[in-house]
């Protein structure tokens, strides 16, 4: 039997490879809108991640501690399937730029098609985080430049720099 749907519960889905302050801002604001927020850490079959799914979940877990109503879970299905299985009917997403807009618009229409009971709710990125992406942060860490503290919580920055060193010294497969 499917669980009853709850409009006070939302699921923020993404890859979070790794989580950064732009994501955390959406989590913080989402936690004020909804009674409960689940961060769903998924798998992107088109991308080879820097951190495996368990590591990404642990990094999210470490930085959501201040938010009593936020939890984290991994998922391997389609995001919309995970949202329903979690008993939610709201998928939370963040929007940075007009290019995000195109992708997110297409994705939300497809999700609505797959499960018309689930709505995607968007929060606009704060100006100071609107340039932040996990891809850029992985590149900055790889080339060893930039002040990563501005963009990432300390434990995430340390993990990212350690992962870059492992990849560069060949201690871990790429």
Catalytic residues: 23, 47, 96, 134
Residue 151 is a binding residue for ligand ADP (CB under 6 A)? no
Stretch that binds ligand ADP, among 22-30, 63-71, 83-91, 162-170 (CB under 6 A): 22-30
- Least Cα distance to 148 among 167, 163, 126, 168 occurs for 163
Residue 120 is a binding residue for ligand ADP (CB under 6 A)? no
Q: Peptide bond preceding 16: is omega within 30 degrees of 0, i.e. cis?
A: no
Stretch that binds ligand ADP, among 113-121, 129-137, 155-163, 165-173 (CB under 6 A): 129-137
Q: Count the helix, strand and coil residues of the chain and give each as a percent rounded to the nearest 5.
A: 45, 20, 35
Q: Are 121 and 9 in contact (CB under 8 A)?
A: no
Alpha carbons 35 and 156: distance in angstroms, whole number: 26
Stretch that binds ligand ADP, among 13-21, 60-68, 83-91, 156-164 (CB under 6 A): 13-21
Residue 100 is a binding residue for ligand ADP (CB under 6 A)? yes
Binding site for ligand ADP (CB under 6 A): 14-16, 22-23, 26, 44, 93-96, 100, 125, 129, 132-134
């Amino acid at each position: 039997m499917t669980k009853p749907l709850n409009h006070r519960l939302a699921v923020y889905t993404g890859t979070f490879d790794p989580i950064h302050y732009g994501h955390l801002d959406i989590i913080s604001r989402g936690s004020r809108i909804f009674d409960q927020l689940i961060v769903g850490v998924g798998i992107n079959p088109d991308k080879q991640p820097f951190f495996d799914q368990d590591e990404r979940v642990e990094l999210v877990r470490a930085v959501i501690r201040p938010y009593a109503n936020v939890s984290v879970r991994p998922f391997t299905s389609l995001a919309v399937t995970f949202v329903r299985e979690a008993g939610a009917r709201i998928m939370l997403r963040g929007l940075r730029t007009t290019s995000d807009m195109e992708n997110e618009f297409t994705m939300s229409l497809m999700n609505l098609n797959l499960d018309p009971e689930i709505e995607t709710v968007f929060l606009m990125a704060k100006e100071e985080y609107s340039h932040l992406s996990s891809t850029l942060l992985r590149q900055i860490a790889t080339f060893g430049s930039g002040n990563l503290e501005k963009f990432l919580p300390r434990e995430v920055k340390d993990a990212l720099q350690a992962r870059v060193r492992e990849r560069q010294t060949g201690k871990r497969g790429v």
